[in-house]
Chains A and B, each alone.
Chain A
């Protein structure tokens, strides 16, 4: 008997609290697979955010700490500076990384902290009931913009990756997605590169993963991934944004 595919050993067997079709589970597995393949599990520290992934430590076996909402990159800075030999990554949503944690994100990136950031962007606040996020697209409906995001009232979607890419401390940023098998494979490649950069002490690396939130997009999981293909990635194009 030959094994063709099996989930990463770093994932626990817990059933997640994520909604059906949510991209978090796919991304958790990819991070675990990458760490396993790089053989760095024994020195990896994860930082869980506040948001849907707040319980990530129940789903993976990394030594993990929580962080206050928006502060994972400050916590990561503390860990990495104190123990540069450790591999440190943050796993953050759009509210955490791009709203309440904007300052921590920008300054950690600008200092060129040698850490890896997994930025899961689904354009809504999932954990609190689907409110508008900094990355919510124009005309996208959420619990706090029921008629769709209106630039005049709500401002524009924040282009976090593009913003960070102009900073000298940043070494690598790529935007990927997990809405079809090819995209999942590309995301894994990007995550691997972001960890390899850290191993090679290259500096701040971030993968922005466009992820589906069927529940708060008001769509079935199948419709949600179709929306990414037909709509979202036309507005928020995938690809390498910076690689030095």
Chain B
């Protein structure tokens, strides 16, 4: 096997950290919370080696504001946390969105509400896909389902953040974060200080004309104008950056819809079902915002039945119903409180749906 194809066994948390450094990220601030601690620990060791900045912040509020600061001067910056910590980071995420600053935020989500538990969860779907904090904004949400995708989508997250000047969220969960999988670590980009290419980044006023980073727009109509600019950007992203994966949609009676770790379980169920002659397909959204409404809508027109599988009490199902628009049956199977859906239970549900 050539070196090029060599894979390393690495946890999801650590592979994001490694991918971020290879994507030219040179600033990380975080606060300990399970189940994402491996990411912070990896950064504490490897970010200094790469010549970057690692800070263990006093809180998630501070960590996201440190990332905000680094983003102001054009640095590729990352922070990570898990559900309760992400709630705190929503303050800074809203400011990043309002100020048009790029940053990447990782949520290795766990059971909630409240302190919940430290088992894997997908209950932050609403929070992730509806902006999450206060105000009229969106964040791009990437939902990888394996170690390799964590690597690939982390780099993509930084590129999208810079391209659109907005925060990008990577949504994982406790299983994906802590499970070690073989991953091909692709070579990093040559590090060039990102700020030299970002004409809006603060450098100190060298021209007589100051640069101002702000989300405060007083005066009648001024904020509306700003928000409509954001809307234009979001419309473009909805046109150009929807990512998903589909299996057997054209040859299915039941189409499973699942993301992240649930989609891994569903894929196995789909394969087993097809062996038994049950026509099951699957649609896996990779971007949760922008959402693949179009693909689901097209499948709905073929009169398939949908079964949405999530690790929550039913959140993404609302987007599936929006896409289906009443044209097909939409069913739900979910586990909550940090529990995982079992293959046999999903299979059972499929059989009920077919009947």
Q: Interface of A with B (CB < 8 Å)?
A: 41-45, 54-55, 57, 60-68, 71, 74-83, 86-87, 103-104, 106-107
Contact = CB atoms under 8 A, between A and B. Distances in A.
Given A63-B210, A78-B29, A71 B62 contact: yes
A55 B68 CA distance: 19
A63 B204 contact: yes
Contact of B69 (A57, A64, A78): A78
Interface stretch (B51-59, B106-114, B162-170, B258-266): B51-59
B58 A79 contact: no
11 contacts: A57-B214, A61-B205, A63-B202, A64-B212, A65-B68, A65-B212, A75-B68, A77-B66, A82-B75, A103-B62, A107-B57
Interface string B34-68: 00000000000000000001010111011101111
B158 interface: no
B149 interface: no
A66 B65 contact: no
Contacts of B68: 65, 67-68, 71, 74-75, 78
Interface stretch (B91-99, B136-144, B279-287): B91-99
* B67, B204, B208 pick with most chain A CB within 10 angstroms: B204
A107 B95 CA distance: 21
B322 interface: no
Contacts of A76: 69
Contacts of B204: 41-45, 63, 86-87
B291 interface: no
A170 to B, nearest CB: 16
Contacts of A74: 57, 61-63, 65-66, 68-69
* A42, A43, A68 pick with most chain B CB within 10 angstroms: A68
A155 B205 CA distance: 43
Given A43-B204, A68-B92, A103-B58, A77 B210 contact: no
Interface of B: 26-27, 29, 53, 55, 57-59, 61-63, 65-73, 75, 77, 91-92, 95, 99, 195, 202-206, 208, 210-216
Contacts of B203: 43, 63, 86
Nearest to A106: B58
A31 to B, nearest CB: 14
A78 B67 contact: yes
A149 to B, nearest CB: 27
A68 B65 contact: yes
Contact of A82 (B61, B63, B69, B95): B69
A87 B73 CA distance: 12
A82 to B, nearest CB: 4
Contact of A71 (B65, B208, B214): B65
Given A45-B73, A106-B58, 15 more contacts: A45-B72, A45-B202, A67-B65, A71-B65, A75-B69, A78-B69, A78-B70, A78-B72, A79-B69, A81-B27, A81-B70, A82-B27, A83-B195, A103-B58, A104-B62
B65 A86 contact: no
B62 A41 contact: no
B72 A65 contact: yes
A227 B216 CA distance: 34
Contacts of A87: 204
A171 B29 CA distance: 24
Given A63-B204, A79-B202, A81-B55, A57 B65 contact: no
A68 B98 CA distance: 11
Given A45-B204, A68-B92, A82-B75, A57 B210 contact: yes
A106 B58 CA distance: 9
B58 A104 contact: yes
B65 A65 contact: no
A135 B280 CA distance: 66
B226 to A, nearest CB: 13
A75 B68 CA distance: 6
B72 A79 contact: yes
Contacts of A45: 72-73, 202, 204
Given A74-B66, A76-B69, A81-B27, A68 B91 contact: yes
